Amino acid sequence: MGLTKKQKDEIQQVLKQVLRNKFQNYKRETSSMPFHTRLLGKDRYALFSFIHSLNTTFGTSIFEPVAVTLAQKRFKRAERQVKSGTRISTAALFEIQKIMDELTAANAKPNKLNEIEIIRKVCQKGEMRKVKPTVVDVYLESNMGELFLFDIKTAKPNKGNFKEFKRTLLEWVAVILAENPKAKINTQIAIPYNPYEPKPYSRWTMAGMLDLENELKVAEEFWDFLGGEGAYFDLLECFESVGIEMREEIDNYFSKFK
C-alpha cells in the first residue's frame, strides 16, 4: 500500500521547512568549548550542537506533523497537540490510583482492556474535578468513531518514567469517558524508531507497567498503523531524499562556522 505521491511531497515539504526554519532561528550555545572546537573544528562542533538542538524538538517539529500527514488518508480526524478533556471523576481517580498501586507492587499485570472497563464503570461517578491532563501528541478518530491517542516518546525512555507514562494513558481514558462513557478509546505510547535495529526493541523494561500489545507501538508498527503497510519504509526514503536534495544547502550553512 505505502504512501501516495501527494503524501510523500507533503512530508518532504514539512522536513524542508523544519530545517530551513531551524537554520534561520538557530542560535548556537554561547558557552565557550575551547577543547572541543580545537579538537573537532568549529564547523564540526557547530553541526554537533545543531543536531543536539534539533533532537530536542524532533518530536513536536517533525514526528507529530509527519504522523498527522500520514494518518489523514486513513482516519476521519487526525490532529496534533490536542487537549483530551478537562474533567475527571473522583471515582475514576481512585480506580486509576488502585491500578497504579497494583502494578507498582507487581501484584497485577497490565491489562489495558480490563483497565478501560474499570474506569468506564466509574467515569461519571462522584465529584467531577477540573484537570489539565498531558496534551495528546497525535489524536486520531477512525471512520467508525474509534479514538486513538498517542504520546510520542524518545527512542530510549528512562525506566523510571514508565509510571508517569502509564498514568497519563489512564487519565486520557478517564477524561474521554467522562464526556462520552460509550466511547471506544485507545491510548498508547509511540516510539518512532528502534535504536537497537536490526535487533528487536527491548520492550521487557516496560512489561511491568505497560500492556505491550495494547499500549505500545514502535517504529514500523507505529508508522504503518498511521499510513498503511509500507509507510515506514516510504517515510525513510522521504527523509533520505530531502537529505540528498538539501545537502549543498546544509553544507553551505555550516561552512560559515569554519
Instruction: Give domain limits for the chain.
Output: 1-72+229-258, 75-227
What grid cell was written down for 81? Answer: 497537540
Strands 87-89 and 77-82: unpaired
Model confidence at 215, in pLDDT bands (50, 70, 90)? very high
Closest CA to 77 of 10, 123, 144, 177: 144
Note the pLDDT of residue 51.
79
b or e along 166-204 (b: 16 or more beta carbons within 10 Å of the residue's beta carbon)? bbbbbbbbbbbbbeeeebebbbbbbbbbbeeeeeebeee
Which residues have C-beta within 8 Å of that of residue 41, sequence separation ≥ 6?
A: 258
Q: Which residue has the higher pLDDT, 107 or 49?
A: 107
- 44 pLDDT above the threshold of 90: no
- 30 pLDDT above the threshold of 60: no
Tell me: domain 75-227, CATH 3.30.70, correct? no
**Is residue 69 classed exposed, middle or buried when 0-12, 13-18 and 19+ CB atoms within 10 A define those classes?**
buried
Average pLDDT value for residue range 145-159: 88
125 contacts 174 by C-beta, under 8 angstroms: no
177 contacts 119 by C-beta, under 8 angstroms: yes
Note the pLDDT of residue 248.
92
Average pLDDT value for residue range 174-182: 97
Note the pLDDT of residue 1.
64
Note the pLDDT of residue 102.
96
Average pLDDT value for residue range 186-212: 87
- 31 pLDDT above the threshold of 70: no
Other CB atoms within 10 Å distance of the CB of residue 146: 14
Report pLDDT digits (tens) over 76-106: 999 999 999 999 999 999 999 999 999 999 9
Note the pLDDT of residue 28.
65
186 contacts 140 by C-beta, under 8 angstroms: no
Model confidence at 204, in pLDDT bands (50, 70, 90)? low
Q: What's the mean pLDDT when you consider all of the chain?
A: 90
Model confidence at 65, in pLDDT bands (50, 70, 90)? very high
Closest CA to 27 of 55, 57, 53: 53
Note the pLDDT of residue 48.
78
Spatial distance between the Cα atoms of 244 and 251, rounded to a whole number of angstroms: 11
Report pLDDT digits (tens) over 154-176: 777 776 788 999 999 999 999 99
